[in-house]
Amino acid sequence: MANGRIRKVVIAGGGTAGWLAATALSHQFRDLLEITLVESEQIGTVGVGESTVPPIRTFHRFLQIDEQEFLRAVAGTFKLSISFENWRRPGERYIHPFGITGQSTRACGFHHFWLDSVRRGMASELGDFCLETLASREDRFTLSSQPQVNYAYHFDAGLYARFLRGIAEGYGLKRVEGKIREVRQDPQDGFVQALVLEDGQVLEGDLFIDCTGFRGLLIEQTLQSGYEDWHQWLPSDRAVAVQTESVGPPVPYTRAIAHEAGWRWHIALQDRVGCGWVYSSRHMSDDEATQKLLDAVGARPIREPWRVPFRSGRRLKAWNKNVVSLGLASGFIEPLESTSIHLSMSAVMRLVQLFPLDGIPQSLVGVYNEVGRAEMEHVRDFIILHYHANQRDEPMWRECRDMQLPPSLQIRLDAWRERAHAWQGADELFRVDSWTHVMLGQGIMPSQHHPLARALSDQDMQRLLHSIQQPMRQAVQQMPTQQAFIDSYCRSDPRVWATLSPVTPQATPA
């Protein structure tokens, strides 16, 4: 099997990850592959508001997806940033924007100049020099500003899966309705040969993509690939999700609001709001979390809340034999910072680039797994930072403050504390601007910064700050509200919600 020509690809499971894989592979390989996706309508999709990060736009361009058509189909809104509320301590807020902050030199990032201006008594916030932060504060959005904003989307996951399905089936993908009863393996090498459905259908394949969620039917239950648990750093292991009516215009940012045992999300779509309560089961019961969520949402629920238990961590072998796991089957980093869909897209692109059309060489499998490991650990470290750097008094937060960090994160924090140094690798998702805004927002002030910033006179420093800030302020004042822009650019028909399945996967009704 390892040396055989790949002709048939079988995707086990739908949802966002399954249909992302189906769309990308059918778009790229069309006549070279026979692609089948098996899923069950009885399982359905979660369908809460989903929050994304800007690389989704690159992925969509790769698939030649029209932005307006997409947004109308998924009831989408725009996202410029994440609003972190109560994370450092209750009552405080900071914004993690997606855009570039200020103007940097090759030798010295802008935040060094800003830190030196604060040292001199020139009062401002770092976000005052970022267009996306300024627009977020005013709930404004446009695609025609100069400079242009960097943005992502909010949308409904169930609608997104349905949208992708239409594209994939247009390229010839075959969808099979049914539940998997059995996984057949080659008795010699253990490679997966076929999936047997409950109705007796046999789906044979050369390459299988496991999108069966946390259970990892192929990658774990069949191939026992192993799982690395990150619970010692990421304490939240439960979420309660609910969808509510809208009570106001959608804001152009995700709200992440810390509470005594975790945090909650608030994601505004065009006509609904996706809400969730993420928490540590060691510090809060399921019933208490559900009630607190319903008390906090401030609007009428459209569906009953449901619980989703999870374990943050990664599959030790995301690609094992002839099975590639995607989405929750390959690992999960809790939803803070909205990376779940991005990690699925990144993995799909990696598979396309390394696709083993003429057989499965172990060298490519090794590259795929190693790159995926590094990517997930980078995201993991960034999310741990939010938990660790806090000044809250509750037991969970004190434990996070006192925990021993992964060495890769400790190095970053030491370099920041000692000299305000931040960096990003070539393939890392979170840029220098992301690290600086979150570290400052969480209250980590460096003891020093780059000495080159001292070379500017007070007058030159003020001139620099004004030259950056003034055009941004003017640009924001010319932007329409996000609601007005959506109404003119991508307003959805309210009937898009009508055919969504109300059933939720791997979830327990609350």
Tens digits of residue pLDDT in 296-322: 999 999 989 999 999 999 999 999 999
Q: Which of 253, 249, 248 is nearest to 267 (CA)?
A: 253
**DSSP classification of residue 318:** S
* CA terminus-to-terminus distance, the chain: 45
Return d(Cα 74, Cα 482) in angstroms, integer: 16
79, 292, 317, 321: the catalytic one is 79
Q: Is 33 annotated as a binding residue?
A: no
Neighbours of 294 (CB within 10 A): 17
| pLDDT at 106 > cutoff 70 | yes
pLDDT at 504: 46
CA separation (Å) from 101 to 111, 114, 116, 218, 428?
A: 8, 10, 15, 44, 18
Tens digits of residue pLDDT in 433-447: 999 999 999 999 999
Tens digits of residue pLDDT in 215-264: 999 999 999 999 999 999 999 999 999 999 999 999 999 999 999 999 99
pLDDT at 2: 58
Q: What percent of the chain has pLDDT over 70?
A: 96
Q: Which of 453, 481, 436, 413 is nearest to 129 (CA)?
A: 436
Q: Is 317 annotated as a binding residue?
A: no
Query: Cα Rg for the chain, rounded, in angstroms?
Result: 23
Return d(Cα 410, Cα 202) in angstroms, integer: 50
Q: What is the mean pLDDT of the chain?
A: 94
**Domains, the chain:** 8-77+154-231+312-377 (3.50.50.60), 85-146+385-475 (no CATH), 238-309 (no CATH)
CA 299 distance to own-chain centroid: 25
Average pLDDT over residues 373-400: 98
Concerning whether 317 is annotated as a catalytic residue, the answer is: no
For 428, residues 6+ apart whose C-beta sits below 8 A from its C-beta are 375, 378
pLDDT at 265: 97
Structure-model confidence comparison of residues 495 and 57, the more confident one: 57
Return d(Cα 311, Cα 228) in angstroms, integer: 10
Q: Are 145 and 80 in contact (CB under 8 A)?
A: no
Q: What is the largest CA-CA distance in the chain?
A: 78
Enter the tokens of residue 429. 């998702």
Return d(Cα 327, Cα 212) in angstroms, integer: 8
pLDDT at 49: 63
Is it true that the peptide bond before 147 is cis, omega within 30 degrees of 0?
yes
Return d(Cα 202, Cα 79) in angstroms, integer: 43
Q: Mind spelling out the 3-state secondary structure of 396-446?
A: HHHHHHHCCCCHHHHHHHHHHHHHCCCCCCCCCCCCHHHHHHHHHHCCCCC
Does the predicted TM-score (pTM) go above 0.85? yes
Q: Is 288 annotated as a binding residue?
A: no
Catalogue the E-assigned strands of 66-128. Answer: 77-79, 81-85, 93-97
Q: Is 337 annotated as a binding residue?
A: yes
Q: Is 143 annotated as a binding residue?
A: no
Q: Is 32 annotated as a binding residue?
A: no
